[in-house]
Structure 1
């Protein structure tokens, strides 16, 4: 716990690449990417502020293998109707919602600060990858700790919420647009909120180890053509799988 508290403070000092658009800009002073000389294998040496990308012991994402069943608290979401803006930040499509949406898990309480997409999925289950994954990034306003809810995405039936986001997303890096009214964020969630839980990190620089991960067991379905619209912009924006080290992954019943 002392280590997690220290790293939470460190993460706040470094600036969180996934918390707000303003913080994202602060973390962008050293360009990074998903391939080549600025790709994941170099993140930890490109910037001293991101050294934990290379030396950290609680990095994300994981291939979730051999999880342990546990009596975990329910994920309770109080998300308001979606409003705000959608941004093409050069690494992904990110939604910056208006304030007021929250997530509670047991005694932990967070505010939703943004959500964004990866292709293919960053996490895996027993070696299986999914075409996409969405990360709902929440922040504890008191401690600065992050609670990220991950959801896998499979091709299948059309998902009106995802389609609306793909319709609204800017095609040019650095561009932003106002979100259309009427998008239901909860349509991006599976019917069951059973989840895997573990302590990890941001999956982009500075890779701060300040994240309590909850990854939903069940995927959602979205139209294949909407996946293709995202991957036309970002065909690969997933960090490679990281080592588990001495961590345990729990799963709710």
Structure 2
């Protein structure tokens, strides 16, 4: 068996380890930055900043003690026969949220109305979100839940952080996460980010439906799908270590004006770089 095949076997083993990890602390399906049943406030500076996250709640302990934390500096990569990712994204109406930590587009449609019958009367119940866009990781489907933005970029490449980064968050049926990270460099205006910025509500935690506006997460991806891969965590509390990270090698563009507009709304929202420890950083050929 070739060295690269051994490496890919290592990826499968790492994924199986992730599957065996407890899933405690994972937040609501469409909002990985939301509260997890408690009210501990966290932020990006001062007494609630990243250096203090683990002291704010026992549920945030991994933010300080974890050994598979994200983001990281990408360097010293090992070439590997990574299976190509299959993106099966569909355009959907724009649902955008300012949750106080980021701007987020929830990637779901509303299901058919359901009713519950009590006696001889029927009552409508809340419609469940439907997720129709999928990332295929090998033969395992991961549903696209949402995408959101950070400035500056959370991941670095050989010590360099970019202007922004977008995270496309996917979840498998067994509760594990696959996140696509796309680095954004200064250049032309980004059409998808423009739609988000143009339609976000001024109220924290209010989801806004942008009438007549559609988005396609595929528009956030570079044409070149070469990538880096490692096993890591959420970059926000509770810092759960059940994330398969795939960071695109090729950045896409964002305008300086868009970076500044995002920063005015949210501020800088990038966690400091975390140690790799014993982990491998793999790269597609």
- Same topology, TM > 0.5: yes
- Shift of the 128–173 alpha-carbon distance from structure 1 to 2, 3 Å rule, reads same
- 1:76-225 correspondence runs (5 A): 76-98=86-108, 99-141=131-173, 143-179=174-210, 180-225=212-257
How far 1:24 moved relative to its partner? Answer: 2.2
The separation in 2 between residues aligned to 1:28 and 1:65, in whole angstroms, is: 37
The answer to whether the Cα contact below 8 Å between 1:30 and 1:46 also exists between their aligned partners in 2 is: yes
> The residue matched to 1:114 in structure 2 has which SS?
strand
- Following TM superposition, the consecutive aligned residue runs of length 4 or more in structure 1 with deviations greater than 6 angstroms are none
- Shift of the 251–59 alpha-carbon distance from structure 1 to 2, 3 Å rule, reads same
Residue 226 (structure 1) aligned with residue 258 (structure 2): yes
Counterpart among 17, 20, 40 of residue 6 in structure 1? 20
The separation in 2 between residues aligned to 1:25 and 1:52, in whole angstroms, is: 16
Q: How many residues align?
A: 248
How far 1:223 moved relative to its partner? Answer: 2.2
- Shift of the 250–42 alpha-carbon distance from structure 1 to 2, 3 Å rule, reads same
Q: Structure 1: state its 5+ residue gaps.
A: none
How far 1:22 moved relative to its partner? Answer: 8.6
Tell which structure's C-alpha radius of gyration is larger: 2
The separation in 2 between residues aligned to 1:235 and 1:176, in whole angstroms, is: 20
- Shift of the 125–52 alpha-carbon distance from structure 1 to 2, 3 Å rule, reads same
Residue 62 (structure 1) aligned with residue 72 (structure 2): yes
Q: Structure 2: state its 5+ residue gaps.
A: 1-12, 109-130
118-127 vs 174-183, which deviates more?
174-183
The separation in 2 between residues aligned to 1:242 and 1:95, in whole angstroms, is: 26
The separation in 1 between residues aligned to 2:269 and 2:38, in whole angstroms, is: 16
Structure-1 residue corresponding to 2:51 = 41
- Shift of the 127–27 alpha-carbon distance from structure 1 to 2, 3 Å rule, reads farther
> The residue matched to 1:162 in structure 2 has which SS?
helix
The answer to whether the Cα contact below 8 Å between 2:33 and 2:237 also exists between their aligned partners in 1 is: no
> The residue matched to 2:196 in structure 1 has which SS?
helix
The answer to whether the Cα contact below 8 Å between 2:74 and 2:158 also exists between their aligned partners in 1 is: yes
Counterpart among 21, 44, 58 of residue 31 in structure 2? 21
Higher strand share: 2
How far does the alpha carbon of each residue in 1:171-225 deviate from its partner, in whole angstroms, 9 at most, with x for none?
Answer: 3322321134232322211111111000000000000000000000000012221
